[in-house]
Amino acid sequence: MSDEPGPFGVLRLPDQIIFGTGSVASLAPEVAALGRRVLVCADPVVATGETFAAVMDVLVDLGVSVTVDTGIVPELPVDGVHAAAERAREAHPEVVVGFGGGSALDQAKLVALLLAHGGPLARFYGENRVPGPVLPLVAVPTTAGTGSEVTPVAVVSDPDRELKVGVSSRHLVPRAAIVDPGLTFGAPPSVTAHAGIDAFVHAVEAYTAGTRSPEWAQELPVFVGRNRLSSLLALEAVRMIATNLRTAVADPLDEPARTAMAHGSLLAGMAFGSAGTHFSHALQYPVGALSRTPHGLGTGMLLPHVLAACRTVTTAELADIGTAMGVPPGSPDERADAALAAVSSLVADIGLPAGLGAIGIPKNSLPRVAELALGVARLAGNGPVPPTQERFEQILAAASRSTSAAPQEVRR
Ligand SMILES: NC(=O)c1ccc[n+]([C@@H]2O[C@H](COP(=O)([O-])OP(=O)(O)OC[C@H]3O[C@@H](n4cnc5c(N)ncnc54)[C@H](O)[C@@H]3O)[C@@H](O)[C@H]2O)c1
Ligand SMILES: [Fe+2]
C-alpha cells in the first residue's frame, strides 16, 4: 500500500455484519431482537423464491408480526416511496427489513426514515439533514453491488429534479447487515455485471478520493474522502472483485466467485460509506438520466476515463490498485499505467458497451452532461483533482471515443 493512506480515519458501520452462505437464517433472530412487528421491503422477483418464504415463516414462528411490501418501482420514484410509507403506517412496524437489490434496500431505508420523522422526503435531500435515528433497519442484499446494506445513503428519483437525488446521513446505516452470497445466485448476467462493476467503482473511487482535513469541532460531512480506515477495505475489495467478477458474470452458479463478489461488494460499501465516491458517480447521474441505463453500467463505462484524467496525481494509489489487480511488479508509474489497462480490460470483458454513443448519449449533449455532473457537489467535490467543466467534458469526450468494449443490448 502507498506510504500515506491519509492522515485520519472515519468509519461508520452497522452494529453487526453477518457474512456467509446460509447466514440469511440469522434474519429471524436479528429482527426478533429489535422488535415484534416488522415491515419487509422485498424485491418483487426475490420475494417469489423459496428461501424468502422460508425465512418469513421462521419470523412468524418466532411470534413476529410480518408485513411484506413488494411495491418497489425501479429507480425509486419519490412518489412510490411515499406511497410505501403510507401503506406501512397501518402496520405500525418497529423494524424495517430491506431484502433485495439496492433498490429494495434503499426503499427500506427511506421508509424507515419517513416512519420516524414524517415527510416529505425532499426535506432530507442532501447531507446530514436527518435529525435523528430512523426505525431500526436490517438489510439483506441479493445483488453483489451497491453495498447499501452498510452505507449511510439512499438514492431516489424526483420528477421535480433533473437528476436522481440522495439522502445521506449516518442515521441511514442499517443496524444489521446480513450478507448471504447464496441469495445472489439467481441474479442474471447483466444484473451481475452492472452491480459488480459498480462495487468495483465504489472501491476504486474510495481509494482514489481526495484527502481533506476534517473540521473536528464541527459535524463531520457524511463523506470525508480518502482515509486510512477505509483504504484497507477498499484495496481488498479491488482485489476480490477484479479476480472474480468475470467468472461471476460468465458462470452465475460459480460458488467461489459469487462468494468473493458478495464479500468484495460488502467491503467496498464499508469503504465508500465514509470515504465516498467521486467523478464516475457524479457523471453517471446525468448519463443515467439521459440514457435510462442502470447505475452500474454508467459508473463502469466512465471509470477508466475518470482514472486516466486523474492519473498524474494518483500514481501511488493507482499503483496499489494495479498490484491488487495482479499487474506485474514494477515502478509506481509502470504499475499505475498497467492498472489503467487492467481496469479497461475488466470493463470490456464483462460486456459493457463501447462509447457513450452506444447508450444514446450524443456528443452535442456532453457540455450539458458535464454541467449537471458539476452540480452534484457531494460527489464532484470528492475527487483527487478539482472538478471543472473542462475536465468533465474531457472525460466525457474520451468515454464517447472509447471503442474498447463489446456492444451489448443494455437499455431497460
Ligand atoms: N445506497 C447505496 O449505497 C447505493 C449505492 C449504489 C447504488 N444504489 C442504488 O441501488 C440501485 C441499484 O441496485 P442493484 O444494482 O442492486 O439493482 P436493483 O435492486 O435495481 O435490481 C436490479 C434487478 O435485479 C433483480 N434482482 C435483484 N436480486 C436478484 C436475484 N438475486 N435474483 C434475480 N433477480 C434479482 C431485481 O428484481 C431487478 O429487476 C439504484 O437505484 C442505485 O441508485 C444505492
Ligand atoms: Fe455506485
What dihedral angle (degrees, nearest 10) is formed by the CA atoms of 78, 79, 80, 82? 90
Q: What is the pLDDT of residue 160?
A: 82
From the CA of 187, the nearest ligand is 1
Which protein residues are within 6 Å of ligand 1, measured from CB?
Answer: 43, 45-46, 74-76, 100-104, 106, 142-143, 145-148, 151, 153-155, 183-184, 186-187, 191, 194-195, 198, 295-296
Domain borders along the chain are 16-184, 189-401
Distance 293 CA to ligand 1 centre (A): 13
Nearest ligand 1 atom, CA 106: 1
Distance (Å, rounded) from C-alpha 229 to C-alpha 244?
24
Nearest bound ligand to the CA of residue 288: 1
Pocket test for ligand 1, best of 170, 281, 295, 352 (most atoms within 8 A of CB): 295
What are the E-state strand segments in 43-183?
Answer: 65-69, 95-100, 126-127, 137-141, 153-156, 165-168, 176-179
Hey, is 382 helix, strand or coil? Answer: coil
Closest residue by Cα to residue 243 from 213, 264, 272 = 264
Which residue's C-alpha cell is 412518489? 79
**Ligand index nearest the alpha carbon of residue 153:** 1
Per-residue model confidence (pLDDT) at position 108: 98
Per-residue pLDDT of the chain (412 residues; tens, 9 = 90+): 555 666 799 999 999 999 999 999 999 999 999 999 999 999 999 999 999 999 999 999 999 999 999 999 988 999 999 999 999 999 999 999 999 999 999 999 999 999 999 999 999 999 999 999 999 999 999 999 999 999 999 999 988 887 889 999 999 999 999 999 999 998 999 999 999 999 999 999 999 999 988 888 899 999 999 999 999 999 999 999 999 999 999 999 999 999 999 999 999 999 999 999 999 999 999 999 899 999 999 999 999 999 999 999 999 999 999 999 999 999 999 999 999 999 999 999 999 998 999 999 999 999 999 999 999 998 999 999 999 999 999 999 999 997 654 333 333 3
Q: What is the dihedral of CA 22, 28, 34, 37, to 10 degrees?
A: 140
Instruction: Give CA–CA dist 196/347, Å, rounded.
Output: 10
Using the mean position of ligand 1's atoms as its centre, give its distance from the Cα of residue 103 in Å.
Answer: 5
Taking domain 189-401, whether its CATH number is 3.30.70.240 is answered by no
Residue 4's pLDDT is 61
Return d(Cα 410, Cα 412) in angstroms, integer. Answer: 7
* Domain over 16-184 is classified CATH 3.40.50.1970: yes
CA angle 256, 262, 265 (to 5 degrees): 135
Q: State the closest ligand 1 atom to the C-alpha of 49, by its place in the atom list counted from 1.
A: 32
For residue 343 the three cell numbers come to 481496469
Q: Atom of ligand 1 at shortest distance to CA of 272?
A: 3
* CA 295 to ligand 2 center in whole angstroms: 6
Per-residue pLDDT, 215 = 87
- How crowded is residue 118: how many other Cβ atoms within 10 Å of its Cβ? 10
- Atom of ligand 1 at shortest distance to CA of 74? 20
Amino acid at 393: E
Of all ligands present, the nearest one to the C-alpha of 101 is: 1
Chain centroid offset of residue 304 CA = 18
Beta bridge mates, 177: 17, 139
pTM value?
0.95
Task: Please state the atom number of ligand 1 nearest to the C-alpha of residue 269.
Answer: 3
Ligand 2 centroid to Cα of residue 55, in Å, is 28
Report which ligand 1 atom has the smallest distance to the Cα of 164: 43
Q: Could you tell me if 197 and 296 are in contact, meaning their C-beta atoms sit under 8 angstroms apart?
A: yes
CA of 35 to the centre of ligand 2 (A): 31
Sign (positive/negative) of CA torsion 115, 118, 121, 124? Answer: negative
Helix 102-117 with 78-89: angle, nearest 10 deg: 60
